[in-house]
């Protein structure tokens, strides 16, 4: 093996190790809000409070009743509150 081939192989191995080290420790909470009949409920507000950091994030369900919190840290403690205002 030539010197440049050895360097290239070592560089590839190092790059792969660095890419592997970029893994994050996070979670993505997703779901669908439905009523008692199983129909999806759009427009529901989901408030996620990170108890450890005192941060609140507010999300809303889409037209399909789905929500997605994006990336959250699983080491922290969270409170999830779903609320809906009825116009009936």
d(CA 51, CA 47): 12
Average pLDDT in the chain: 75
pTM metric for this prediction: 0.64
Q: What is the pLDDT of residues 34-52, one digit of tens each?
A: 999 999 999 999 999 999 8
- CA angle 31/77/70 to nearest 5° reads 40
Name the one residue in this structure whose structure tokens are 């990170």: 50
Q: What is the pLDDT of residues 47-78, one digit of tens each?
A: 999 998 898 999 999 999 999 998 888 778 88
- Both tokens of 55, joined, read 């941060």
d(CA 50, CA 83): 17
- Residue 15 is classified by DSSP as H
d(CA 64, CA 58): 18
C-alpha distances (whole Å) from 31 to each of 7, 43, 45, 70 are 48, 14, 13, 12
What domains are there in the chain, each with its CATH number?
Answer: 25-88 (2.60.40)
Tell me which residue of 12, 10, 50, 13 sits closest to 29, measured CA to CA.
Answer: 50
């Amino acid at each position: 093996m030539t010197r440049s081939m050895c360097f290239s192989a070592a560089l590839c191995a190092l790059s792969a190790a660095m890419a592997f080290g970029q893994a994050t420790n996070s979670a993505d909470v997703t779901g669908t809000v439905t009523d008692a009949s199983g129909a999806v409920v759009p427009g529901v507000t989901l408030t996620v409070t990170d108890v450890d950091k005192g941060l609140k994030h507010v999300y809303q369900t889409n037209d399909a009743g789905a929500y997605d919190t994006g990336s959250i840290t699983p080491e922290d403690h969270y409170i999830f509150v779903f609320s809906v205002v009825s116009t009936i």
